[in-house]
Structure 1
């Protein structure tokens, strides 16, 4: 009986860990693009989300668009080998393009499948230089700084 209870407890713990890992990720901030909100070395709890589950003003983690000209030096790739950016959502698909965004001539609304993101630091490399970020490359929404307040 005791062994069955222990085995059931272990199975519940493993299932719970698997469930949490599929929904949440811990990301370490590398750089100052979100300063003063987030600074280099901060660890952030991120909930995996799709673009239709994101709101304007949310802090998100996503891959940047490709830069064939190589103008923007990439940071350090994550443990999965991918480069992630952490930025604040300024506009979602269908929203008017905010002023100062590299959108191209005649583009008045954020195209479907893309998002406009800005770093809190004005020196951030974001949609002001790179234009629209692909929504399909969204990892999720940052919920809180670990050891700190909600974002």
Structure 2
């Protein structure tokens, strides 16, 4: 009788641990070339969920792109998709930092990054990032990449 109770207890503990880990960590597969040569399509990233306040310039982050804004200033809400198309980019500037010259035009001439926003660039010249779309919203950050594939540390 004790054997099944131990098995059930162990299974419950393992399930609770897995649920806790999934709230803190996630795996993401790179699908584009915007972060080459640092990351290649097919690379798997271990991502630690975090908020903008936990980031530093040079971190590789996974985040959603800004939502399109209609010319009259209204944010366009696209229909819900079954899968989010996450972007993998490098943090170039955080709230309060000066906006890099290459992103200045796309941010409407702002001088510094506003609260709850960030500037991100891809490592490749072909990257679609803050140089084209401006500020990325800080509330759409999934997390910071901490390892690639089989635990290879990422170097900023």
TM-score by length of 1: 0.88
Cα shift readout 1:121-144 (whole Å, capped 9, x = no counterpart): 122010111111000110000111
1:103 maps to 107
CA distance in 2, matches of 1:27, 1:132: 23
Equivalent residue number for residue 50 of structure 2: 49
Mapping of residues 59-78 of structure 1, within 5 Å: 59-68=60-69
Give the alignment of 1:1-151 within 5 angstroms: 1-68=2-69, 80-101=82-103, 102-105=106-109, 107-151=110-154
CA distance in 2, matches of 1:80, 1:16: 27
Give the aligned CA root-mean-square deviation in angstroms: 1.5
How many positions carry a matched residue from both structures?
A: 141
Moved over 2 A (4+): 66-69
Equivalent-residue separation in structure 1 for 2:12 and 2:127 (angstroms): 45
TM-aligned CA deviation for residue 80 of structure 1:
4.8
